[in-house]
């Protein structure tokens, strides 16, 4: 039941027009709505003027050389130009105001999250003054509702762009440059985001999920993420851990509390608690996980994870182990 | 009188054009879905020449990514991500032997390098059996060969977006592979 | 200087029909095109070169359209498997590169190269050999790009080739090098054409055609050519930086060695934004011509129209950063570009108001070209509005790189360039071929295209709001983008049908010609004064102009100028501002050297993809070709000296 429920929720809300945060709301209410109305009205006026000019009844005695008529026409054109200029100027002022509001620096209470773009997944890190409290996860960003969050954006390979449309505008992740943006969720929920800058073969499947939750459950989640992975309790999961450590997995993935510590691919310490797999591509179910491990290239052709020819028993044990990583 | 000569030329031109086209296609292929993964390393590479019956002719295995720029580039990524640079550095060698010179202890053929990676070698080269997919090993093989100029220049990688610590593989002049002496510790027991 | 040439009214009673026939016969003999393939390769006539340009650009338009249609089919439903990521990336890169570099800019310049000399009453363009060279370079570059595409070496880093993705580390192989070099071909072609047009317009206008009597299309081409001259060198620089980063390990775009990936974006968009106006401004010229003819009234506010064109060109160079609002540039800097981006709406607005005023004053006839002009206004202003919207930094940061932008610039480019272009095609087809296109098929084509464009691109605004990024080869069913994408694909099919109708229309007119007269639409500019199709020398006698609407002012025949020799290829040069006769110039005969020079250029460029020694390898070829090009021919030299001596004597006299 629970996986089904999750599947139906997946992939979360994903729209500019349903703002769930201050920035997105400012852009939608402060810019898009007035712009849409103004543009529609102007469009209607211009098309109406065009149709009138095309279809108006011509009187027999009109002459082109009538200077009064020329003057009137010139005046109309000048007036239209003046109105255009004034509308644009008003728009410029509104735009600057909204721009200042969306980028105003948040207070000291802001939560800092570091997001690093990789081909084609997102590394998410919650830093702390104590290094052992650092939390590293992937493709899923938990934030507390009602608290500003500063997202530091970096890239290790090519340019990506971080964009959760319900919460905030986008910002590029450029190798060698440090960018950041801030956002704040008004209500709890799951908001989908996707890479917006063309970044290679799997640009299409490089999504993430922002999970906004009340601050106490966020604190609980963060505390849970700080734990190292659970020790396997039964023989199946023990076997699964052996498979994990004995196969290609630890060459790229880390599981805290085990010898696996590579940072090439996503950190799997709490894989079982995540809602999606493969950067927001698949709901996190056992079947999807199995398919992903065995042949990722069928799901995301070009992804950096190679196929893994595991025997059925090994695969089942591995899946059982990975599901304990909650 | 001129027609045989002309057809001779035409054949040559056509052959050259076809070869060029084939090379271009091979260089640029992006092959992702190699499923099922090719046979395991043991089936690909023979440990020794000894076998029952008369000796068969030795056939050089061609690395599947030797003419493929994308595969070679992936090999370069793996070279750093799998920490090959930890011992071989950027090809100049340090803890492990250099890979950008003409001296090969265990042979410069793709199959030799494949075997070195999969089986490991004495004195510190670990075995990557089961740790890398067969395709990934072949990609590494192609990259390692590019480091000493054994691949065509249009296939070998260009510079990296990092501090420049070595000249790009593309500009490496081809080193005639020679065999260096086997260190005593590496002899078969 | 005027004294050496006598300007007289073409007085039909004074000049006998026999003497005019003699002039025509002599000109026919002197300007006779050479027969056969050899003659075809050697041709330097602006009309045959421009026709080749047009046909080639149209073929590229069809190819890029096919690529677009394939992409639309791929996106028609979620998780479609028609194109994989690798193929899709090549397709969208080729679509963008072809449309921008191989279709839009060349087709506009080709229209200019065909029409400008006719509109200003000249016999040819100023540098006919350079003109031919530009075409061959363009052709070889385009063919080279497509050849490589068919060999799986089509570029796949986008038409914008952002580094580091397009750099040596993330795009191994030669795909991006092919892109960088292919656009170098088109840059050279564009630069030659722009130099060509500027000098032609400044120095070869008919006597009396002062700058303020030039047709608006000629103004548009003049302004566009200056934009090309200032914009193209930037992308040439950038693409050569990229090629060097990839081939000889320079570090222009490598952050770790002191380069910067953002440098690429600045250089690229400093060309890339003016590029939009380079495409759009000639289209404005088309519309002005069509509106004038079909309302039977001179365009209202000629000075305002000209100033708008010039203003657009200046402002067009101050907007490039609005392509980079998401890169995190300083806010104060960004707001300047917001203001500039909004400001450019003003000259565009002025032109639209002036056209509406023209129509209001005139007596419109709803011919097919005029339909396209009206369609242009409607479609283009939608793109214009969204363009003003994305001048806003916060709003742009929401919709940047989404399907909203795809919708926006297709409205701008299809509305602002393709609609006027189809209109221009219908309008000038009779002049170029001497045959009319079918009005009925033309109407069908227009309405299908109009519906198709809106059906394809309007839903994309909504897709962008729903979070669909650009350049994705597929999307998940859960995103809910399926139905709008299917709608867009249906629209694309309708557009394809419309283009097929256009081809049918062309084929029909070529098979069963409906002959056009000299001036089928009742146009007012000089090109309608000559035969359809024009003879190689364009005009038997150089026309003299005393207003903006020469054919309407002189319905009984234009005044003409005598004094040019008919036994040699004489052309007339006039002064820059007032178009007073200045000097005579000997037009070069047909020659093979531009073709050879283009081959040498091609050899150099293609070799440069594989080795930096390409320069050395190509140098001897280039040397031979350009020496051959510039080799003085004794006879011509003497002739020129004689002309100059004559002129000196006449001036002295």
How far is the C-alpha of B6 from the C-alpha of A71, rounded, in Å? 78
For residue B1, is pLDDT > 50?
no
For residue B53, is pLDDT > 60?
yes
3-state DSSP assignment of residue A270: coil
How far is the C-alpha of C389 from the C-alpha of C392, rounded, in Å? 6
Give how far C610 is from chain B: nearest CA, Å. 7
Contact C499, C506 (CB under 8 A): no
Interface touch C327/A172, C-beta < 8 Å: yes
Is the complex ipTM higher than 0.90?
yes
φ, ψ of residue A303 to 5 degrees: the values are: -60, 155
Going by pLDDT thresholds of 50, 70 and 90, the confidence category of residue A3 is: very low
3-state DSSP assignment of residue A58: coil
- C261 closest CB neighbour out of A77, A161, A174: A174
Give how far A83 is from chain C: nearest CA, Å. 10
Q: What is the mean pLDDT of residues A73-89?
A: 94
3-state DSSP assignment of residue C402: strand
Which percentage of chain A shows pLDDT scores above 90? 74
**CB contact B38 to C (< 8 Å):** no
**CB contact B60 to C (< 8 Å):** no
Going by pLDDT thresholds of 50, 70 and 90, the confidence category of residue C330 is: confident
Q: What is the mean pLDDT of residues C146-154?
A: 93
Q: How many residues can be counted in chain B?
A: 189
The torsion angle over the Cα atoms of residues C470, C473, C477 and C482, rounded to 10 degrees, is: 60
The torsion angle over the Cα atoms of residues C431, C437, C443 and C448, rounded to 10 degrees, is: -100
Q: Is A148 left (phi over 0), alpha (psi -120 to 50) or beta?
A: beta
How far is the C-alpha of C380 from the C-alpha of B44, rounded, in Å? 62
Tell me which residue of C589, C505, C514, C538 sits closest to C132, measured CA to CA: C589
- C342 closest CB neighbour out of A39, A92, A98: A92
pLDDT tens for residues B56-107?
Answer: 655 556 778 888 999 999 999 999 999 999 999 888 888 889 998 888 888 8
| Residues of chain A found within 8 Å of residue B82, distances taken between Cβ atoms | 251
Q: What is the mean pLDDT of residues B10-34?
A: 79
Q: CA-based Rg of chain B, rounded to a whole angstrom?
A: 19
For B132, nearest residue in chain A (alpha carbons): A248
∠ Cα B14 B20 B23 (to 5°): 140
Cα torsion angle, C359, C360, C362, C368, sign = positive
Mutating which of B69, B74, B159 best tests the C interface, going by the most C Cβ atoms within 10 A? Answer: B159
Among B167-171, C26-30, C225-229, the range of highest mean pLDDT:
C225-229
For residue B31, is pLDDT > 70?
yes
- C152 closest CB neighbour out of B29, B155, B170: B29
Mutating which of B23, B28, B65, B156 best tests the C interface, going by the most C Cβ atoms within 10 A? Answer: B28
Count of alpha carbons within 13 Å of C397, Cβ hemisphere only?
32
Interface touch C173/B27, C-beta < 8 Å: yes
Structure tokens at C16: 């006998």
For residue C9, is pLDDT > 60?
no
Interface touch A201/C364, C-beta < 8 Å: no
What average pLDDT is seen over chain C?
A: 91
Q: CA-based Rg of chain A, rounded to a whole angstrom?
A: 27
pLDDT of residue C646: 63
pLDDT of residue C446: 97
Interface touch A309/B32, C-beta < 8 Å: no
How many A×C Cβ pairs under 8 Å?
217
Residue A92: other Cβ atoms inside 10 A: 18
3-state DSSP assignment of residue C351: helix
pLDDT of residue C634: 62
pLDDT of residue A104: 78
Which percentage of chain A shows pLDDT scores above 70? 94
For residue C372, is pLDDT > 60?
yes
pLDDT of residue C332: 83
pLDDT tens for residues C604-622?
Answer: 999 999 999 999 999 999 9
- A197 closest CB neighbour out of C86, C356, C401: C401
Contact B160, C169 (CB under 8 A): yes
| Residues of chain B found within 8 Å of residue A201, distances taken between Cβ atoms | 30, 32
How many B×C Cβ pairs under 8 Å?
77
The residue written with tokens 């039964």 in the block is: A234
Of A40-49, B43-52, C246-255, least confident by mean pLDDT is B43-52
How far is the C-alpha of C532 from the C-alpha of C436, rounded, in Å? 11
- A301 closest CB neighbour out of B32, B131, B135: B32
Residues 125-184 of B with CB under 8 A from C: 153-155, 157-164, 167-168, 170-171
pLDDT of residue B58: 54
For C152, nearest residue in chain B (alpha carbons): B25
pLDDT of residue C6: 45
Q: What is the mean pLDDT of residues A17-37?
A: 91
| Residues of chain B found within 8 Å of residue C166, distances taken between Cβ atoms | none
Tell me which residue of A4, A28, A305 sits closest to A166, measured CA to CA: A28
- B161 closest CB neighbour out of C152, C256, C611: C256
Structure tokens at A13: 């809300």
3-state DSSP assignment of residue A160: strand
Tell me which residue of B70, B64, A122 sits closest to C85, measured CA to CA: B70
| Greater pLDDT, A95 or A66 | A95
Tell me which residue of B82, A279, B162 sits closest to C170, measured CA to CA: B162
ω into A11 cis (within 30 of 0): yes
C433: CB partners within 8 A, 6+ apart: C509, C510, C532, C533
pLDDT of residue C17: 58
How far is the C-alpha of C417 from the C-alpha of B87, rounded, in Å? 59
Q: What is the mean pLDDT of residues C121-133?
A: 93
C602: CB partners within 8 A, 6+ apart: C137, C140, C141, C144, C185
Beta-bridged to residue A210, according to DSSP, are A141, A191
Interface touch C172/B32, C-beta < 8 Å: no
- B161 closest CB neighbour out of C169, C610, C611: C169
Of B46-55, B128-137, C42-51, C172-181, least confident by mean pLDDT is B46-55
pLDDT tens for residues A138-197?
Answer: 999 999 999 999 999 999 999 999 999 999 999 999 998 999 998 999 999 999 999 999
3-state DSSP assignment of residue B179: strand
Beta-bridged to residue B77, according to DSSP, are none
Q: What is the mean pLDDT of residues A279-293?
A: 94
Residue C251: other Cβ atoms inside 10 A: 18
For A303, nearest residue in chain B (alpha carbons): B32
Among A65-69, A225-229, B181-185, C88-92, the range of highest mean pLDDT:
C88-92
Mutating which of C155, C166, C173, C261 best tests the B interface, going by the most B Cβ atoms within 10 A? Answer: C173
- C357 closest CB neighbour out of A73, A85, A170: A73
How far is the C-alpha of A311 from the C-alpha of B54, rounded, in Å? 37
Residue B19 Cα distances to A179, B29, B68, angstroms = 48, 15, 15
Beta-bridged to residue A207, according to DSSP, are A194
pLDDT tens for residues C451-504?
Answer: 999 999 999 999 999 999 999 999 999 888 999 999 999 999 999 999 999 999
pLDDT of residue B23: 76
**DSSP string of C458-491?**
HHHHHHHHTT-BTT-S---GGG--HHHHHHHHHH
Contact C587, C571 (CB under 8 A): yes
Interface touch C360/A98, C-beta < 8 Å: no
Q: What is the mean pLDDT of residues B40-54?
A: 60
∠ Cα A122 A126 A127 (to 5°): 130
Residue A114 Cα distances to A124, A155, C163, angstroms = 6, 11, 23
**CB contact A246 to B (< 8 Å):** yes
Give how far A232 is from chain B: nearest CA, Å. 22
The residue written with tokens 């081409």 in the block is: C221
Interface touch C169/B171, C-beta < 8 Å: no
How far is the C-alpha of C359 from the C-alpha of C374, rounded, in Å? 10
pLDDT tens for residues A102-155?
Answer: 887 777 788 999 999 999 999 999 988 888 889 999 999 999 999 999 999 999
- CB-count exposure of residue C393 (10 Å: 0-12, 13-18, 19+): buried
ω into A215 cis (within 30 of 0): no
Q: What is the mean pLDDT of residues C537-562?
A: 89
What b/e string do you get for C467-478 counting C-beta neighbours within 10 Å, with b at 16 or more? bbbbbbbbbbeb
Structure tokens at C237: 């620089």
Structure tokens at B38: 């090719």
pLDDT of residue B172: 85
Q: What is the mean pLDDT of residues A57-70?
A: 74
Interface touch B132/A248, C-beta < 8 Å: yes
How far is the C-alpha of A259 from the C-alpha of C583, rounded, in Å? 87
Structure tokens at A255: 């599981």
For A250, nearest residue in chain B (alpha carbons): B131
How far is the C-alpha of C358 from the C-alpha of A73, rounded, in Å? 9
Going by pLDDT thresholds of 50, 70 and 90, the confidence category of residue C242 is: very high
**CB contact B135 to A (< 8 Å):** yes
**CB contact A197 to C (< 8 Å):** yes
Interface residues from chain C to B (CB-CB < 8 Å): 84, 86, 148, 151-153, 164, 167-169, 172-175, 245-249, 251, 253-257, 610-611
- Quote the pTM value: 0.92
Which percentage of chain C shows pLDDT scores above 70? 94
| Residues of chain B found within 8 Å of residue C152, distances taken between Cβ atoms | 24-25, 28-29
pLDDT of residue B66: 86
Interface touch C261/A204, C-beta < 8 Å: no
Going by pLDDT thresholds of 50, 70 and 90, the confidence category of residue A6 is: very low
Interface touch B30/A246, C-beta < 8 Å: no
For B73, nearest residue in chain C (alpha carbons): C172
Residue A239: other Cβ atoms inside 10 A: 18
pLDDT of residue A5: 36
How far is the C-alpha of B118 from the C-alpha of B177, rounded, in Å? 21
pLDDT of residue C108: 96
Interface touch A88/C377, C-beta < 8 Å: no
How far is the C-alpha of C590 from the C-alpha of C41, rounded, in Å? 9
B180: CB partners within 8 A, 6+ apart: B103, B104, B105
Residue A231 Cα distances to A34, A136, A250, A321, A324, angstroms = 57, 19, 16, 10, 9
How far is the C-alpha of B144 from the C-alpha of A117, rounded, in Å? 28
For residue B2, is pLDDT > 60?
no
Structure tokens at B59: 């056939």
Tell me which residue of A288, A298, A295 sits closest to A319, measured CA to CA: A288
Structure tokens at B11: 């054949």
For residue A10, is pLDDT > 50?
no
Contact A171, C326 (CB under 8 A): yes
For C90, nearest residue in chain A (alpha carbons): A201
**CB contact B39 to A (< 8 Å):** no
Give how far A182 is from chain B: nearest CA, Å. 29
């Amino acid at each position: 039941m629970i996986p089904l429920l999750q599947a139906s929720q997946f992939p979360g809300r994903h729209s500019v027009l349903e703002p769930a945060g201050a920035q997105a709301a400012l852009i939608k209410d402060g810019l898009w709505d007035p712009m849409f109305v103004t543009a529609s009205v102007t469009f209607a006026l211009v098309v109406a003027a065009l149709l009138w000019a095309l279809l108006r009844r011509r009187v027999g005695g009109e002459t082109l050389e009538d200077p009064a008529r020329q003057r009137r026409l010139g005046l109309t054109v000048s007036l239209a130009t003046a109105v255009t200029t004034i509308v644009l100027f008003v728009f410029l002022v509104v735009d600057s105001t909204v721009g200042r509001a969306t980028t105003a620096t948040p207070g000291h209470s802001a939560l800092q999250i570091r997001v690093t773009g990789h081909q084609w997944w997102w590394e998410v890190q919650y830093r702390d003054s104590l290094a052992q409290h650092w939390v590293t996860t992937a493709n899923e960003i938990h934030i507390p509702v009602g608290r500003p969050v500063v997202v530091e954006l970096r890239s290790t390979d090519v340019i990506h762009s971080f964009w959760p449309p319900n919460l905030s505008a986008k910002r590029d992740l450029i190798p060698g440059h440090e960018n950041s943006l801030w956002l704040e969720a008004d209500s709890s929920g799951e908001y989908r985001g996707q890479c917006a800058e063309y970044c290679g073969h799997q640009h299409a499947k490089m999504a993430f999920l922002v999970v906004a939750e009340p601050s106490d459950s966020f604190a609980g989640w963060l505390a849970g993420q700080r734990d190292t992975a659970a020790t396997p309790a039964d023989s199946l999961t023990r076997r699964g851990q052996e498979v994990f450590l004995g196969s290609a997995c630890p060459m790229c993935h880390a599981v805290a509390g085990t010898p696996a510590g590579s940072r090439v691919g996503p950190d799997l310490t709490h894989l079982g608690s995540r809602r999606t797999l493969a950067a927001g591509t698949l709901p996190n179910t056992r079947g999807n996980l199995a398919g992903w491990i065995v042949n990722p290239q069928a799901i995301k052709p070009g992804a950096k994870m190679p196929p893994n020819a595991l025997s059925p028993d090994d695969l089942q044990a591995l899946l059982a182990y990975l599901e304990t990583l909650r | 009188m001129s027609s045989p000569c002309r057809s001779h030329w035409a054949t040559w031109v056509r052959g050259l054009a076809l070869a060029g086209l084939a090379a271009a296609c091979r260089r640029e292929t992006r092959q992702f879905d190699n499923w099922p993964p090719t046979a395991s390393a043991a089936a690909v590479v023979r440990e020794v020449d000894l076998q029952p019956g008369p000796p068969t002719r030795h056939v050089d295995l061609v690395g599947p990514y030797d003419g493929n720029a994308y595969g070679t580039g992936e090999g370069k990524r793996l070279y750093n991500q799998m920490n090959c640079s930890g011992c071989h550095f950027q090809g100049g060698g340090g803890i492990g032997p250099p890979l950008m010179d003409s001296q090969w202890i265990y042979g410069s053929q793709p199959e030799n390098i494949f075997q070195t990676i999969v089986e490991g070698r004495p004195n510190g080269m670990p075995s990557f059996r089961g740790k890398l997919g067969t395709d990934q090993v072949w990609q590494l093989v192609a990259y390692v060969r590019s480091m000493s100029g054994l691949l065509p220049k249009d296939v070998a990688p260009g510079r990296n977006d990092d501090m420049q610590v070595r000249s790009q593989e593309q500009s490496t002049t081809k080193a005639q592979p020679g065999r260096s002496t086997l260190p005593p510790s590496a002899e078969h027991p | 200087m005027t004294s050496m040439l006598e300007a007289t009214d073409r007085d039909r009673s004074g000049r006998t029909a026999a003497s005019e026939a003699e002039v025509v016969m002599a000109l026919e003999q002197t300007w006779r095109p050479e027969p056969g393939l050899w003659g075809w390769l050697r041709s330097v006539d602006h009309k045959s070169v421009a026709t080749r340009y047009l046909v080639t650009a149209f073929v590229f338009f069809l190819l890029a359209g096919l690529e677009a249609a394939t992409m639309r089919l791929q996106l028609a439903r979620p998780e479609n498997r028609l194109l994989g990521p690798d193929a899709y990336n090549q397709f969208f890169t080729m679509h963008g590169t072809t449309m921008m570099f191989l279709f839009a800019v060349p087709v506009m310049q080709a229209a200019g190269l065909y029409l400008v000399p006719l509109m200003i009453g000249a016999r040819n363009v100023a540098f006919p050999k350079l003109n031919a060279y530009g075409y061959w370079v363009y052709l070889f570059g385009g063919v080279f790009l497509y050849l490589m595409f068919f060999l799986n070496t089509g570029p796949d880093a986008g038409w914008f080739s952002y580094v580091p993705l397009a750099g040596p580390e993330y795009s191994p192989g030669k795909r991006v090098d092919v892109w960088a070099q292919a656009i170098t071909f088109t840059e050279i072609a564009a630069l030659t054409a722009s130099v060509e047009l500027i000098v032609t317009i400044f120095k070869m206008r008919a006597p009396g055609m002062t700058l303020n009597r030039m047709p608006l299309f000629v103004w548009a081409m003049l302004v566009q050519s200056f934009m090309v001259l200032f914009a193209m060198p930037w992308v040439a620089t950038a693409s050569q930086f990229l090629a060097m980063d990839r081939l000889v390990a320079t570090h222009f775009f490598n952050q770790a060695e002191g380069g910067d990936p953002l440098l690429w974006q600045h250089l690229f968009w400093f060309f890339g934004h003016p590029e939009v106006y380079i495409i759009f401004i000639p289209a404005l010229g088309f519309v002005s011509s069509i509106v004038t003819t079909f309302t039977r009234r001179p365009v209202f506010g000629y000075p305002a129209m000209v100033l708008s064109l010039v203003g657009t060109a200046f402002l067009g160079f101050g907007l490039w950063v609005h392509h980079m609002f998401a890169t995190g540039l300083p806010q104060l800097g960004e707001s300047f570009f917001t203001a500039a981006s909004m400001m450019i709406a003003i000259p565009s607005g002025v032109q639209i108001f002036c056209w509406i005023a023209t129509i209001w004053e005139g007596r419109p006839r709803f011919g097919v070209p005029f339909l396209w002009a009206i369609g242009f206004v409607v479609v283009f202003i939608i793109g214009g509005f969204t363009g003003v919207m994305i001048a806003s930094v916060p709003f742009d940061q929401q919709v940047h790189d989404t399907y909203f932008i795809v919708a926006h610039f297709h409205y701008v480019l299809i509305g602002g360039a393709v609609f006027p272009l189809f209109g221009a095609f219908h309008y000038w087809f009779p002049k170029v071929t001497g045959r009319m296109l079918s009005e009925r098929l033309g109407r069908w084509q227009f309405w299908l295209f109009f519906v198709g464009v809106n059906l394809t691109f309007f839903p994309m605004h909504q897709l962008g709001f729903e979070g669909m990024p650009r350049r994705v080869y597929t999307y998940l069913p859960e995103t809910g983008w399926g139905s709008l994408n299917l709608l867009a694909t249906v629209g694309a099919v309708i557009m394809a049908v419309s283009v097929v109708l256009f081809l049918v229309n062309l084929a029909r007119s070529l098979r069963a010609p409906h002959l056009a007269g000299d001036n089928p639409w009742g146009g007012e500019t000089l090109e309608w004064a000559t035969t359809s199709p024009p003879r190689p020398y364009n005009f038997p006698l150089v026309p003299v102009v005393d207003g903006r609407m020469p054919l309407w002012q002189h319905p009984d025949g234009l005044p003409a100028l005598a004094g040019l020799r008919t036994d040699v290829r004489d052309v007339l040069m006039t002064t820059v501002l007032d178009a007073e006769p200045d000097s005579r110039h000997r037009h070069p005969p047909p020659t093979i050297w531009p073709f050879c020079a283009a081959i040498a250029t091609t050899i150099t460029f293609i070799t440069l993809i594989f080795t930096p020694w390409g320069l050395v390898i190509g140098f001897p070829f280039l040397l031979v070709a350009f020496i051959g090009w510039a080799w003085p021919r004794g006879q011509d030299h003497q002739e020129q000296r004689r002309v100059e001596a004559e002129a000196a004597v006449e001036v002295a006299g």
